[in-house]
Amino acid sequence: KNEVEQSPQNLTAQEGEFITINCSYSVGISALHWLQQHPGGGIVSLFMLSSGKKKHGRLIATINIQEKHSSLHITASHPRDSAVYICAVSRTDSGGSNYKLTFGKGTLLTVNP
Amino acid sequence: NAGVTQTPKFQVLKTGQSMTLQCAQDMNHNSMYWYRQDPGMGLRLIYYSASEGTTDKGEVPNGYNVSRLNKREFSLRLESAAPSQTSVYFCASRVTRNTEAFFGQGTRLTVV
């Protein structure tokens, strides 16, 4: 079982819809990251959070530490939101693992006009 | 602001050739990382450098070497390229553990 699981793997939506992408993890963490990767493009950090909720424009990220679960929401989705969204965690293992990120496999979002 | 700069962006190698992927960051970050991204596998850590002067193996280090040349630069070397090393390679940096990560644009490497 992967230590970071994302769902769904693929998601197709119509422009304007509310989108939710989920991330569950099975290790102790100090922070969770949401990243965005457009097709053929680089990777951009959207959020880093260790508790509660963060909002940036139409994007909202929440985390429930007790349930080891995070969600990324996109309100009023737009075709330019089409991308792969990746969840990653900073682990609290001792030693070297503290410097590493463990990644989910990503969710491919397609927003149709 | 340049952020994290990787060179080259694209490369085709023949099996057995060697090459070095370059990565530089201008954000005064301590930690730097090399990942490979393959379809269906997600990002996997090849090597990382927690701070200048240190390097450590990640999940998939075989066939690679790294050099943390100074605080800004972290290079990845393929001594004898193999088709299994065909991938997209990303360099990343952050201030230290538990801080936001910044990624380069990636290097698309094909080994034939």
Indicate the Cα dihedral angle B18, A38, B99, B1, nearest 10°: 80
Does the CB of A46 have a partner CB in chain B at under 8 Å?
no
Does the CB of A29 have a partner CB in chain B at under 8 Å?
no
Please report residues of B whose CB lies closer than 8 A to that of A99: 31, 48, 50, 56, 96-97
One-letter identity of residue B110: T
Does the CB of A60 have a partner CB in chain B at under 8 Å?
no
User: How confident is the prediction along chain A (113 residues), in pLDDT tens digits per residue?
Assistant: 689 999 999 999 999 999 999 999 998 888 999 999 998 888 999 999 999 999 999 999 999 999 999 999 999 999 999 999 999 998 876 555 667 889 999 999 999 99
Tokens of residue B93, six digits: 């940096």
The answer to whether residues A32 and A49 touch, using CB atoms and an 8 Å cutoff, is: yes
> Quick check: A103 and B42 CB within 8 A?
yes
